[in-house]
Amino acid sequence: MAEQRPHSYTHHGITIEDPWKWLRDADYPTVDDEDVLAYLNAENDYFEANMSPHKELTDAIFEEIKGRQQPDLASVPWKDGDWYYQWKFGEESQYRIWLRWPSVGLEGPEGDEAARQGPTAEVTTLLDEPALAEGLEYFRLGSLSVSNGGGLLAYATDTDGSERYKLVIKDLATGELLPEEIPNIIGRIVWSADDSSLLYTVVDDNWRPWQVRRHVLGQPVEEDTIVYEESDPGFFVGIGESASREYIMIGAGDHVTSEVRLIPAADLAADPVVVSARRANHEYSIDHQGDRFIIRTNDTHKNFRLATAPGDDPAEAAWQPLVDASDSHYITGFDTFKDFIAVEVRIDGLDNVRLMWRDGAVKSIEFPESAYSASVGRNREFDTDTLRLYYDSMVTPSTVFDYHLSTEELEVRQVQEVPSGYAADEYVTDRLLAPARDGVEVPVSIVRHRDTPVDGSAPLYIYGYGAYGYAIPPSFSTSRLSLLDRGFIYAIAHVRGGDDLGYHWYEAGKLDRRTNTFNDFVDVARHLVNERYGSEGRIAIAGGSAGGQLMGAVVNQSPELWGAVAAHVPFVDVLNTMLDDTLPLTPIEWPEWGNPIEDPVVFDYIRSYSPYDQLTARDYPPILVTAGLNDPRVTYWEPAKYVAKLRALKTDDNLVLLKTNMGAGHGGRSGRYDRLYEVAEEYAFMLVVMGLVE
How does pLDDT run across 292-346, given as a tens digit for each residue? 999 999 999 999 999 999 999 999 999 999 999 999 999 999 999 999 999 999 9
Looking at residues 58-85, what average pLDDT do you find?
A: 96
Amino acid (one-letter) located at 306: L
689: helix, coil or strand? helix
Q: What is the pLDDT of residue 367?
A: 87
> CATH 2.130.10.120 occupies which residues in the chain?
293-416
Question: In this model, does residue 418 exceed pLDDT 90?
Answer: yes
Measured between alpha carbons, how far is 638 from 568 in angstroms, rounded to an integer?
11
Q: What is the pLDDT of residue 105?
A: 61
Q: What is the pTM of this model?
A: 0.95
The percentage of the chain sitting over the pLDDT mark of 90, rounded to a whole number, equals: 91
- Virtual torsion, Cα 484, 488, 489, 492, nearest 10 deg: -80
Looking at residues 508-533, what average pLDDT do you find?
A: 98
Count the alpha carbons within 13 Å of 644 in the hemisphere toward its beta carbon: 22
Looking at residues 140-157, what average pLDDT do you find?
A: 97
Q: What is the pLDDT of residue 107?
A: 55
Contact partners, residue 671, CB within 8 Å, separation at least 6: 94, 95, 133, 139
Q: Which fold has domain 8-67+421-573+621-689?
A: Rossmann fold (3.40.50)
Confidence of residue 108 (pLDDT cuts 50, 70, 90): low
Return contacts of 244-252, CB within 8 angstroms, 24+ apart: 244/288, 244/289, 244/290, 244/336, 244/338, 244/382, 245/148, 245/193, 245/382, 246/193, 246/288, 246/290, 247/288, 248/190, 248/199, 249/286, 250/212, 251/285, 252/228, 252/278
Q: What is the pLDDT of residue 633?
A: 87
Question: In this model, does residue 111 exceed pLDDT 70?
Answer: no
Q: Which residue has the higher pLDDT, 98 or 367?
A: 98
Please choose, from the candidates 684, 618, 630, the residue with its C-alpha nearest in 3D space to the C-alpha of residue 657. Answer: 684
Measured between alpha carbons, how far is 616 from 581 in angstroms, rounded to an integer?
27
Question: Which ranges of 447-599 would DSSP assign to H, the alpha helix?
Answer: 481-484, 503-507, 515-530, 546-557, 574-578, 586-593
Looking at residues 337-362, what average pLDDT do you find?
A: 94
What digits encode the pLDDT tens for the residues 489-505? Answer: 999 999 999 999 999 99
| Among the ranges given (111-115, 214-218, 406-410), the one the predictor scored with the smallest mean pLDDT | 111-115
What residues pair up with 292 in beta bridges, in sequence order? 310
| Among the ranges given (316-325, 448-457, 471-480, 659-668), the one the predictor scored with the smallest mean pLDDT | 659-668
Measured between alpha carbons, how far is 216 from 480 in angstroms, rounded to an integer?
48
Which sequence positions are flagged as catalytic? 545, 631, 666
3-state SS record for 280-321:
CCCCEEEEECCCEEEEEECCCCCCCEEEEEECCCCCHHHCEE
CB 189 within 8 A of CB 222: no
What digits encode the pLDDT tens for the residues 230-282? Answer: 999 999 999 999 999 999 999 999 989 999 999 999 999 999 999 999 999 99
Q: How many CB atoms lie within 10 A of CB 461?
A: 23
What digits encode the pLDDT tens for the residues 566-603? Answer: 999 999 999 999 999 988 789 889 999 999 999 999 99
Q: What is the pLDDT of residue 408?
A: 93
Please choose, from the candidates 338, 345, 389, the residue with its C-alpha nearest in 3D space to the C-alpha of residue 368. Answer: 389
Q: Which CATH architecture has domain 293-416?
A: 7 Propeller (2.130)
CA dist list (Å): 91 to 96, 226, 312, 436: 10, 44, 51, 47
What digits encode the pLDDT tens for the residues 192-205? Answer: 999 999 999 999 98
